[in-house]
Amino acid sequence: MASDDQIIKVVGDRFCVPYTMELLVKRKIQSFSNAHYDVFDATGNVLLQVDGGVWNFQRKRVMKDPSGLPVITMREKALSWKQQWVVHQGESSEKDHFLCCVRRSNALQIKNKLDVCLASSYKDDGRDFRVTGSFASLSFKVRRGNSIIAEVSHNFTWGSCKGKESFKVKVYPEVDYAFIVALVVIMHENDNA
């Protein structure tokens, strides 16, 4: 649980709420070149959608709000040793709109670990958040220091074998849920690379 009373805002204030959010993230492969994620709240309302190609050279995912406006764009850096992703506001790729970088902690690792560096600490080579999960499972926790700010559990079903998967996401109060959903997408894309 997030221990300090600070708002953890990466994407925007509108994605930070003062209560714990329970989300359901559903992923399905729509065609040979397109994967789609839908994000639902506890009442079944669509909060976010993520689209992007599955088998293309530069992997790019665009997160949109329910009205279809781009919120963020996630791009995997081609030929990156640690599978690095960069996240920008909207559909931009300009450095003025750079939000964060997400990369594997180690190029060769047994346990899934991602380091997240915000734009403010990117050049310092520091880590603002750590995502940790097991090798055998797509479930993971997001930490800021020693505090858990979100938990993700993968729901394995027979649909998972057909390209349909779902994740239960618990986002603690005052934590940017769009940022956490972006980490779900990146963690899943890294596992399927």
What domains are defined for the chain? 19-192 (2.40.160.200)
Q: Per residue of the chain (193 residues), what is the pLDDT tens digit?
A: 444 458 899 999 999 999 999 999 998 876 666 778 999 999 999 999 998 765 555 678 999 999 999 999 999 887 666 678 999 999 988 889 999 999 887 656 556 789 999 987 765 667 899 999 876 667 899 999 999 999 999 876 655 555 678 899 999 999 999 999 999 999 888 766 5
Instruction: Please give the model's pTM, rounded to 2 decimal places.
Output: 0.88
User: Under a CB-based contact definition with an 8 Å cutoff, are residues 52 and 33 in contact?
Assistant: no
Alpha helices by DSSP H, the chain:
177-191
Task: Report d(CA 63, CA 168) in Å as an integer.
Answer: 18
Buried b (16+ CB within 10 A) or exposed e, 80-118: eebbbbbbbbeeeeeeeebbbbbbbeeeeeeebbbbbbb
